[in-house]
Amino acid sequence: MLSDVALWRRLTAEFLGSAFLAALVIGSGIAAQRLSPGDTGLELLENAAATAAGLFAIILMFGPISGGHFNPVVSFVDAAFRGVSWRDALAYLPAQVAGCVIGAIVANLMFGLPAVSISVKHRASGSHFLAEIIATLGLMLVIFALARSGRSVATPAAVGAYIGAAYFFTSSASFANPAITIGRMFSNTFAGIAPSSAPVYIGAQIVGGVLAIGLVRMLYPGKTPAEAADVTVPPDHAAPGADRLTGNGTRDGTAARASRPSGPTHG
């Protein structure tokens, strides 16, 4: 279980994963603007494709250590299912926010911009609020439906695919993550968001997370905390092969772990 990994290691993984997430979202947005000036549709496509692919890789990198949350909503929904403790979810929060802020600063510097440039891109409206509820709800359903049905091996790809699609089917471009929302305030570029708009997005993300808890419990009732313990990807610190999936989707470890799923994230 993730609780077997030292907390400082998990916090480091969450910080680094969140930093990479912010850097790839913001950096790819800057690159898209420079490569395809004036073509907003193509810029968004480039930004979405890079984010989807990068998110897949980041979850694979850090998921076995921390669960690959990189998103406070994922952490707190997981805590509601007792997959992680509330203490650990609270500890993850500052690591995720700090990581996203640092990632935004690094992205700015990589493209020769001031380290911090507060965004002036106003995004808040009723339609954006609804879009962020839907974006976050959908992300949580992807993560925790796979977790509770024993298909967590597919979660990195599924999360990347969902976020890439949600860039286009939601009017908000699917932030779906309070930490990345805060990080994106620090870059006045394609992916930025004005500080005045951030509370609307964060509020909608919280609503989406709460709704997801109810829907997951309705759709996948009767799951135990042990079955909800691994979010995003199964931990690999057990004996080699202990978490290997068999052909029928169960695990060939001990009986107690035979069907334990995992539950990403983004932004």
For 134-151, how does the pLDDT look when each residue is reduced to its tens digit (9 = 90+)? 999 999 999 999 988 889
pTM: 0.83
Residue 66 · residue 2 · CB < 8 Å:
yes
Domain of 62, in residue numbers: 2-225
**Structural domain includes residue 242:** no
Q: What is the pLDDT of residues 24-34, one digit of tens each?
A: 999 999 999 99
**Structural domain includes residue 236:** no
Q: Return the CATH number at 215.
A: 1.20.1080.10
How many domains does the chain fold into?
Answer: 1
**Structural domain includes residue 166:** yes
**CA-to-CA distance for 126 and 61, rounded, in angstroms?**
36
**Structural domain includes residue 257:** no
Angle between helices 7-35 and 40-66 (to 10 degrees): 170
Q: Which is nearest to 45 in space by CA: 134, 175, 173, 159?
A: 173
Q: Which is nearest to 254 in space by CA: 234, 233, 236, 239?
A: 239
**CA-to-CA distance for 217 and 90, rounded, in angstroms?**
22
pLDDT band of residue 226 (cuts 50, 70, 90) is low
pLDDT of the residue at 131: 98
**Structural domain includes residue 265:** no
